[in-house]
Amino acid sequence: MKSLTLRRTVITLAVLSGLLAATTVGSALLGPEQIGLGRAVAILTGRDAPSGDIGDANIGRTILLHIRLPRIMLAALVGATLAVTGAVLQSILRNPLAEPHLIGVSAGAALGVMIAGLVELPGALVGLTTTSVLAFGGGLAALIVLYQLSKVQGRIRPETLVLAGVILNGTLTAGIMVLTTYLDPTRFVGRVVWLMGNLGSLDLGTLGLIGPFLLAGMGLLCLQGHRLTVMTLGPDTAQSLGIRAEFVTRAGLVVSALLIAVAVSISGMIGFVGIVIPHILRRLIGSDYRLLLPASVLSGAIFLIVADTVARVALSPTEVPVGLVTALCGGPFFLSLLAKRRKMGTV
């Protein structure tokens, strides 16, 4: 891969932005209720203004503006978050196979959400806030346990951390399953669908709350491009190159955990985005994080919009949880990656 230049960065990101726009349009038009491009443009530009009667146009308008576009925006935000945090964790943990779910952060956050659903805290009136707080708490608690377990001689050991993460993930997932048995039958199905990863349950108000938060967090991570490039060489080398390695490690883990917690509390456990996207991108555009991070944001968004469109359309009128779609493409990808790395002798 040739060295990164500003020109190549701009061109790559422009191409990906174009792809994201095209994906958004395609996904908005597809669904049980087909909406033509001309009509969609008319709705968006206001030429198809509601006339008061409940006509065909109004149904199209409601579907496009209140169901499909918010859902696409959510898919874009969640996909971007999972992809970019995956890339960040891979650098900080010095492990190309690291992924938000692998180290148990997603499971920790999901457990927090499950507890929020069961305990009916007094704050339950504020709904989202209680869930978010417990999701943050769960994700961060998982992370802190992991961090303490993996610290050897004052430094995080990547191998120990990943091993501990896998075990923690298994334990937390078992905890989540135990809690599902306490759910009353009316809520059981909804919770399980959420756990499997679902982007269908969101109102515009929530989107307005989490959107800016996720975008700000991702922006912060994207600005750490050259630091995270150097961090792949390990904390000692990074420190000797003028990076505050310990601080970047802690801050990167905490910010990633927060973003993952938000994504999980809204959309459940959507796996593999964080490993598939950065790996494909490394092949195509190289490993320089100055480009890899913003490219992961855009590509993660594209990937999850496509996956969610498949989830909506494939078995229409029923819906497949999007987490299953990403797992069904991501799982085999992950395994082929392992097989290849085994051949190269570097896991």
Partner 1 sequence: MRIQKAKDGRIAIRPYIEIKNLTVRYEMTPALESVSVEIVSGESVAIIGPNGSGKSTFLRALGGLVRPASGSIVLDGSPLARRAPRDLARLVAYVPQDTAVLFEFSVREIVAMGRSPYLSAWGFESRDDLAAIDDAITLMDLGELADRSVLEVSGGERQRAMIARALAQQPAVLLLDEPAANLDLKYQVSLYALLDRLTRTHGLTTIIVSHDLNAVSSCDRLIVLRDGRLHDVGSPSDVLTETMVEEVYGCRASIDTHPRTRAPRVTLDWEKT
Rule CB under 8 A: which residues touch partner 1?
Answer: 1-6, 9, 90, 94-96, 153-154, 223-226, 229-230, 232-234, 236-237, 239-244, 282-283, 286-288, 290, 344, 346
Determine the Cα–Cα distance for residues 274 and 334; give it in Å rounded to an integer.
Answer: 11
Dihedral, CA of residue 174, residue 178, residue 184 and residue 190, to nearest 10: 0
Nearer to partner 1, 99 or 288 (CB): 288
Nearest approach in angstroms of CB 87 to partner 1 is: 10
Nearer to partner 1, 55 or 219 (CB): 219
- Amino acid symbol at 317: P
Nearest approach in angstroms of CB 252 to partner 1 is: 14
CA distances from 124 to 93, 131, 192, 268 (A): 36, 8, 20, 19
Nearest approach in angstroms of CB 240 to partner 1 is: 4
Nearest approach in angstroms of CB 229 to partner 1 is: 7
Sign (positive or negative) of CA dihedral 286, 16, 294, 346: negative
Contact between residue 245 and residue 158 where contact means Cβ atoms under 8 Å apart: no
Cβ-proximal residues to 50 (8 Å cutoff; 6+ apart), any chain: 57, 58, 61
Nearer to partner 1, 142 or 281 (CB): 281
Closest CA to 272 of 101, 77, 75, 158: 101
Nearest approach in angstroms of CB 245 to partner 1 is: 8
Nearer to partner 1, 47 or 283 (CB): 283
Contact between residue 114 and residue 191 where contact means Cβ atoms under 8 Å apart: yes
- Amino acid symbol at 216: A
Nearest approach in angstroms of CB 226 to partner 1 is: 6
Nearer to partner 1, 146 or 243 (CB): 243
Nearer to partner 1, 172 or 292 (CB): 292
